[in-house]
Amino acid sequence: MLPALLLLILFLLSPEAWAQAEVAATEASTESGNLWFDTSRTAELIAVLGFGLLVVIFVQQARRGMDFFIRPIPGLEAIEEAVGRATEMGRPILYCPGLESMDEVATVASMNILGQVARRVAEYETPLKVPNRDPIVMTVAQEVVRDAYNTAGRPDLYQAENIYYSTYSQFGYAANVCGMMIRERPATNFYFGRFYAESLILAETGNMTGAIQIAGTDADAQLPFFITACDYTLIGEELYAGSVYLSREPLLMGALRAQDFAKVAILVLLIGGSILSFAGIVDVAAWFPG
């Protein structure tokens, strides 16, 4: 532990000395024929260890009951009202998880939000429709909704046929969902995930039927369409924070808090490093070789 701290202090205080130490370590390792650590990646190692330490600290604080502030997100706060409106009108709720597979971060975030929405839907005893473009996403969605109904104490209300596979065709999927909107006229439409050109078709059809619409995507090109046609839109990282905002799970809260602190630290380093470099005081670029 002590050698690591000494190396960190040397790294922060003297980039030139750190560079010399890197060269010496590389030469020594090469001579011994056992280069077990790439010293040019020390900055990345320090960043990873620092972020991991932040995550551990904030998760422990969250488990002890510390209440972390999360900026209010209007679209997520409106979910309760939107589900309640559908219940009062006796109409179903539509949830579209996007068009991508489960290896996309946006789809994973959508599944997390789906679990929280399904729990509220189960409490209100409102039908939930989840059309899917990918069969694997459909399977995951079925499990997520089933677990949510079980958690809410209403496993009898779960209907697997409501979480179904539509078609892999992009606009075939859009046509299927739009047709369902026209026929069943859901009172609330949720669009969370990765969308493409079909986003405007879905949002405009839902707007025409008079449904409350809440959307969220990390596809920048589709945000203008959702913002125009939907009542609430989650932009970029708000989609990723949605499940944390709704569930308040300590593990997720701690990770989100650590991300916020890491962003602030990176911003401070960028601004401070730029000022120091422009002033000619310290060559910050030397801290990050390669």
Domains of the chain by residue range = 2-68+250-287, 74-240
Give CA separation, 179 vs 38, 164, 174, in Å: 57, 15, 8
Which of the four pLDDT bands, split at 50, 70 and 90, describes residue 22?
low
Q: Name the strand (E) or helix (H) holding 257.
A: helix 250-278
Tell me what pLDDT residue 10 has: 44
What is the percent of the chain with per-residue pLDDT over 70, rounded to a whole number?
83
- 203 and 191 Cβ atoms separated by less than 8 Å: yes
Q: Which residue has the tokens 């990282």?
A: 237
Residue 34 confidence (pLDDT) above 60: no
Tell me what pLDDT residue 212 has: 94
**Exposed/middle/buried for residue 167 (C-beta within 10 Å: 0-12, 13-18, 19+):** middle
Q: Name the strand (E) or helix (H) holding 110.
A: helix 105-124
Residue 2 confidence (pLDDT) above 50: no
Architecture of domain 74-240: 3-Layer(aba) Sandwich (3.40)
Tell me what pLDDT residue 72 has: 76
Q: Comparing 36 with 167, which gets the higher pLDDT?
A: 167
Q: What is the pLDDT of residues 202-242, one digit of tens each?
A: 999 999 999 999 999 988 899 999 999 999 999 877 888 77
Q: Is the dihedral of CA 136, 141, 142, 147 positive or negative?
A: positive
Cα–Cα–Cα angle for 235, 236, 239, nearest 5°? 85
